[in-house]
């Protein structure tokens, strides 16, 4: 039975409590309750998907505080995503958004959380596909979000499947921009493979080369080197960039940014995914073929261990990547 505490009565109708209820949202410069953070129904972005967003993680550090991972890089990517999409005149500076993210974590009293800034267009320019006036809005929400693919996935690895949906051609959408509308492609691919009993979708580009997963970059480890597709076809993942730096500098394994074929995945010693949400997730099976020994690989687990120590503030050298809250 629903209690008064986890329900909301509006116009006589009871609304079931959602995962974000009770939190505060930063909306165009002000903190508001999640239930008051509403957008107009004729928001241009809602209808046509023109908007840009970020996914950022804040971790509880072992000293008891909290730290946001690579906040500056995420804010930079948000701005260049908007630049690619010609969403200019963002009404807040990078510094204001940076500080708003920190304040939002504090005000919500979160220790570890996921943070979602979004830049979108309101309704002032009307609803034509071409509009002269972009009333650019910015909102930031945050919530507690555990392991994206589950704790077990981090330990034992996931089963992935190559989707029948190709990643968009570079001249269809622009993959360097983390834009809202293009996630339809990821949603279709993920739905397809989850419905078929797999955990995650791997997507090929329109020439048939391996691109990335529905929300993660992909890496293989084969006989002494690591390989990941070049940035020409994938989102420039901030975890991808962090992983490359750790692999080269701490694990001393050479990293190649080169095209990967589907069969190269099958015969790799190890495959893993990186992303803010998925962190470093081993892949133990692709298209019903075991990868390596069919379990999380040693190189992947070593990278994961170094990564988690860094994000939890246990590695002095990489404190440069953390913004203390
Ligand atoms: C399609 C796609 N590729 C890769 C990534 C990984 O990027 P990051 O490590 O910056 O989260 C994401 C997640 O944002 C994504 O959605």
> Active site residue: 178, 190, 293, 309, which one?
178
Q: Work out the mean pLDDT of the chain and round it to a whole number.
A: 94
Ligand 1 site-directed mutation target among 58, 149, 239, 272, most atoms within 8 Å of CB: 239
Measured in degrees and rounded to the nearest 5, phi and psi for residue 106 equal -65, -50
Cα 54 to averaged position of ligand 1 atoms, centre (Å): 9
Reported confidence tier of residue 10, pLDDT bands at 50, 70, 90: low
pTM above 0.85, yes or no: yes
What residue spans in the chain does CATH classification 3.20.10.10 cover? 151-312
- What share of the chain in percent tops pLDDT 70? 96
Helix (H, G, I), strand (E, B) or coil at 111: coil
Residues in the chain, how many? 325
The answer to whether 161 is a known catalytic residue is: no
Q: What is the pLDDT of residues 58-109, one digit of tens each?
A: 999 988 899 999 999 999 999 999 999 999 999 999 999 999 999 999 999 9
Q: Is 57 in the pocket of ligand 1 (CB under 6 A)?
A: no
Q: Is residue 119 a contact partner of residue 97, using CB atoms and an 8 Å limit?
A: no
Ordered alpha helix ranges (H), 85-218: 94-107, 151-156, 183-195
**Topology classification of domain 151-312:** D-amino Acid Aminotransferase; Chain A, domain 2 (3.20.10)
pLDDT tens readout for residues 33-53: 999 999 999 999 999 999 999
Atom of ligand 1 minimally distant from the CA of 175: 1
- Rounded to an integer, what is the distance from CA 48 to the centroid of its chain? 21
**Does domain 17-143 sit in CATH 3.40.50.970?**
no
Q: Where in the chain is the domain with CATH 3.30.470.10?
A: 17-143
């Amino acid at each position: 039975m629903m209690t008064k505490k986890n329900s909301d009565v509006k116009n006589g109708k009871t609304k079931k409590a959602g995962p974000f209820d009770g939190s505060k949202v930063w909306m165009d410069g002000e903190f508001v309750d999640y239930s008051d953070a509403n957008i107009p129904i004729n928001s241009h972005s809602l209808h046509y998907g023109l908007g840009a967003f970020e996914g950022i993680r804040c971790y509880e550090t072992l000293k008891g505080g909290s730290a946001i991972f690579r906040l500056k890089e995420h804010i930079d990517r948000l701005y260049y995503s908007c630049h690619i999409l010609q969403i200019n005149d963002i009404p807040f500076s990078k510094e204001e958004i940076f500080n708003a993210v920190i304040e939002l974590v504090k005000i919500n009293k979160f220790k570890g959380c996921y943070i979602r800034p979004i830049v979108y267009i309101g309704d002032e320019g009307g609803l034509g596909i071409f509009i002269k006036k972009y009333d650019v809005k910015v909102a930031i929400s945050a919530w507690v979000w555990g392991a994206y693919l589950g704790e077990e996935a981090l330990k034992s690895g996931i089963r992935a499947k190559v989707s029948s949906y190709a990643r968009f051609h570079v001249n269809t959408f622009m993959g360097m921009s983390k834009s809202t509308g293009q996630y339809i492609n990821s949603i279709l691919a993920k739905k397809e493979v989850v419905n078929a009993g797999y955990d995650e979708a791997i997507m090929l580009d329109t020439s048939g080369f391996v691109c990335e997963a529905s929300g993660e970059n992909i890496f293989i480890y084969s006989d002494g080197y690591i390989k990941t597709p070049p940035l020409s076809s994938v989102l420039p993942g901030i975890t991808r960039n962090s992983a490359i730096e750790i692999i080269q500098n701490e694990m001393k394994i050479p990293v190649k940014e080169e095209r990967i074929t589907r069969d190269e995945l099958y015969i790799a010693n190890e495959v893993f995914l990186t992303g803010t949400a998925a962190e470093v997730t081993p892949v133990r099976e692709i298209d019903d073929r075991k990868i390596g020994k069919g379990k999380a690989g040693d190189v992947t687990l070593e990278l994961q261990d170094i990564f988690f120590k860094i994000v939890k503030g246990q590695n002095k050298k990489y404190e440069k990547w953390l913004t203390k809250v």
